[in-house]
């Protein structure tokens, strides 16, 4: 008798479970970095800030980046296994993939420079020349991920609850797709070479995230 655990439906459930566990870890720490730690750094004295960067930040970043990794891998496998192809899940998956790439290609590499610089200063040396620039790049990518996280979660949830967003990609015109993903692409590019702008403050990035969700929802509904 085949164990129920190894059926296709059970495998899909296990992947969804892993996806949720890893996603909560990832996004929870993303919000911690942006809503809690960042605001604390604005008020902390130099010694306290240096201690946090050397001891707390590396530990948080370990869970952060591996949470992102397992969220991405489990999500990709789940989409493949269940053959998910609606516009809702596609928009959510694209936003999540950009966020994952930001973590591993921008945030983590630049945060390593910031951590190494803090340790060098604490040991009596000089700050690394590129530390300030690295901090800015990591911060911009992190703010962009916070912006994207709000519509990403909305569209991921829509795969179950909002059937009207499940229009097949094959039934959608190229021009319509270009508008939706063009907007996402412009914001993603800004997260690499642009400025934080309205995302600089906590209220600003949260408000912008809800606004982006509304705009993307309207655009997808109009396809």
Confidence of residue 1 (pLDDT cuts 50, 70, 90): very low
pLDDT score of 4: 58
Per-residue pLDDT of 130-154, as tens digits, reads 999 999 999 999 999 999 999 999 9
pLDDT tens digits for range 77-120: 999 998 887 888 889 999 999 999 999 999 999 999 999 999 99
Lowest-confidence segment of 1-15, 43-57, 94-108, 134-148 by average pLDDT = 1-15
Residue 138, burial from CB neighbour count under 10 angstroms (0-12, 13-18, 19+): buried
More confident residue, 84 or 185: 185
Residue 58 — φ and ψ, nearest 5°?
A: -60, -40
pTM of the model: 0.92
3-class SS of residue 222: coil
CA atoms within 13 A on the CB side of 194: 17
* Kind and range of the H or E run holding 69: helix 57-82
Q: Please report the pLDDT score of residue 220 as a whole number.
A: 83
Q: State mean pLDDT over 27-50.
A: 95
Quote the mean pLDDT of the chain.
91
Residue 156 has pLDDT above 70, yes or no: yes
- Paired tokens of 48: 């306290």
- The length of the chain is 223
Half-sphere exposure of 200 (CA within 13 A, CB side): 6
N-to-C CA span, the chain: 47
Residue range 173-197: mean pLDDT, rounded: 91
**Average pLDDT estimate for 172-194:** 89
Closest CA to 147 of 205, 94, 89, 90: 205
């Amino acid at each position: 008798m085949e164990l129920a655990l190894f059926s296709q439906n059970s495998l899909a459930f296990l992947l969804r479970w892993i996806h949720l566990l890893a996603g909560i870890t990832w996004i929870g720490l993303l919000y911690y970095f942006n809503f809690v730690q960042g605001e604390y750094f604005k008020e902390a004295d130099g010694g306290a800030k240096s201690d946090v960067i050397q001891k707390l930040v590396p530990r948080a970043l370990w869970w952060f980046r591996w949470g992102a990794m397992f969220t991405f891998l489990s999500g990709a496998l789940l989409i493949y296994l269940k053959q998910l192809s609606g516009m809702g899940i596609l928009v959510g998956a694209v936003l999540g993939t950009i966020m994952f790439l930001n973590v591993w290609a921008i945030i983590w590499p630049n945060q390593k420079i910031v951590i190494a610089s803090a340790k060098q200063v604490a040991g009596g040396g000089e700050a690394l020349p590129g530390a300030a620039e690295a901090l800015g790049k990591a911060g911009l990518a992190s703010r962009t991920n916070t912006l994207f996280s709000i519509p990403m979660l909305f569209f991921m949830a829509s795969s179950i609850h909002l059937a009207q967003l499940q229009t097949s990609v094959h039934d959608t015109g190229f021009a319509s797709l270009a508008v939706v993903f063009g907007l996402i692409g412009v914001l993603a590019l800004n997260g690499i070479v642009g400025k934080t702008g309205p995302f600089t403050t906590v209220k600003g990035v949260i408000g912008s995230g809800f606004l982006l969700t509304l705009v993307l929802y309207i655009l997808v509904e109009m396809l």
